């Protein structure tokens, strides 16, 4: 997940740039409108320390000039830099492993049977960051179905930050991340390599995954409903209204009796609570009944 870093220390010493409350409110408003990020007043030191680097890179003299930049054509390109500056990649392979265990033991056997009968199986990693979660999902699928490539099984992995997606698409990671992959999974997940610095995900897994840029608070262009959605440690950085709306949209995006996995600090809220049943630690299953049979959004996958 690409998430705000709540532990970043406050900047010490005299400020290099003037940063008024009005500057902060304008930046917070833009971050919320564009990406759904909720910046409380306590985040002002974080915003200053992160964005001061952008002011230096752009040769600007004040945060007022930086805010004014967003009113120009060049401001559209700066939106991505704003996101990258205010968020940080916090993820690793098999994070919150109980979800992958539940997927492997309780969910995938039924889905693999459906795939062998010719049905489509769709899994969505909805805040995939640098791709570790998506490749863990692919590894679970291949472990359950070694010939998964023969069937219509696809994993969609999306994130709002194009910079982390570039890493995800390469399928290459620093060797220090290898320790997070259980030893029994490494033969399946890791391609043979002679490098001492990094490793590459097995092409067999990469073939199952399609990466794409998607803003969770924007339009969702996919057409087919999903069997499983993983969206972990993303909604916690939205305000309550945006969270409730997101849970409802996930309900719409799931097949009847589909599964939703969310982060360890997150809880379903709002109207969506009537659509889901808890089946484990931050694991939910969509229920049949009123309000659960709405048509999915438009697009293709």
At 138 the three-state DSSP class reads: helix
Q: Which of 50, 122, 206, 245 is catalytic?
A: 50
Find, among 186, 180, 177, the residue nearest to 97 by Cα.
180
Ligand-binding annotation for 215, yes or no, is yes
Tell me whether residue 16 is annotated as binding.
no
159 annotated active-site: yes
Query: Does 91 count as an annotated binding residue?
Result: yes
Instruction: Please list, residue by residue across 231-269, b when 16 or more beta carbons sit within 10 angstroms of its beta carbon and e when fewer do.
Output: bbbbbbbbeeebbbbbbbebbbbbbeebbbbbbeebebe
Asked whether residue 232 is marked as a ligand-binding residue, the answer is: yes
With a CB cutoff of 8 Å and minimum separation 6, the contacts of 33 are none
Nearest-angstrom CA–CA distance, 122 and 156: 8
294 is catalytic: no
159 is in an annotated binding site: yes
* Residue 89 annotated as lining a ligand binding site: yes
The reply to whether 245 sits in an annotated binding site is no
Distances (CA, A) of 130 to 89, 214, 234: 8, 14, 14
242 within 8 A of 266, measured Cβ to Cβ = no
Catalytic residue among 23, 122, 159, 206: 159
Of 88, 66, 87, 65, give the one whose Cα is nearest residue 78.
66
What residues act catalytically? 50, 159
Binding residues for S-adenosyl-L-methionine, as ranges, are: 89, 91, 95, 133, 159, 215-216, 232-233
């Amino acid at each position: 997940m690409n998430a705000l870093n709540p532990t970043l220390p406050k900047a010490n010493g005299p400020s290099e740039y003037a940063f008024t409350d009005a500057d902060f409110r304008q930046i917070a408003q833009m971050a919320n409108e564009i990406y759904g990020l909720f910046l409380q007043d306590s985040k002002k030191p974080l915003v200053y320390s992160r964005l001061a680097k952008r002011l230096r890179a752009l040769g600007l003299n004040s945060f007022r000039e930086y805010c004014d930049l967003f009113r120009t054509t060049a401001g559209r390109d700066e939106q991505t830099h704003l996101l990258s500056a205010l968020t940080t990649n916090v993820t690793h392979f098999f994070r919150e492993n109980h979800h992958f265990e539940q997927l492997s033991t309780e969910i995938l056997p039924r889905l693999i049977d459906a795939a062998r009968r010719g049905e489509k199986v769709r899994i969505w990693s909805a805040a995939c960051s640098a791709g570790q979660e998506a490749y863990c999902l692919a590894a679970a699928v291949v472990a359950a179905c070694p010939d998964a490539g023969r069937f219509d099984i696809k994993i969609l992995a999306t994130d709002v930050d194009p910079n982390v997606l570039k890493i995800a698409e390469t399928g290459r990671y620093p060797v220090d991340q290898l320790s997070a992959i259980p030893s029994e999974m490494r033969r399946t997940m890791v391609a043979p390599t002679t490098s001492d610095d990094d490793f590459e995900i097995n092409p067999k897994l990469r073939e199952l995954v399609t990466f794409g840029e998607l803003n969770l608070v924007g339009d969702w262009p996919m057409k087919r409903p999903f069997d499983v959605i993983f969206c972990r440690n993303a909604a916690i950085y939205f305000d309550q209204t945006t969270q409730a709306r997101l849970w409802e949209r996930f309900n719409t995006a799931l097949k009847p009796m589909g599964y939703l996995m969310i982060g360890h600090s997150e809880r379903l809220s709002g109207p969506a609570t009537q659509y889901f049943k808890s089946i484990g630690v931050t694991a939910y299953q969509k229920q049949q009944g009123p309000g659960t049979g709405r048509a999915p959004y438009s697009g293709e996958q």
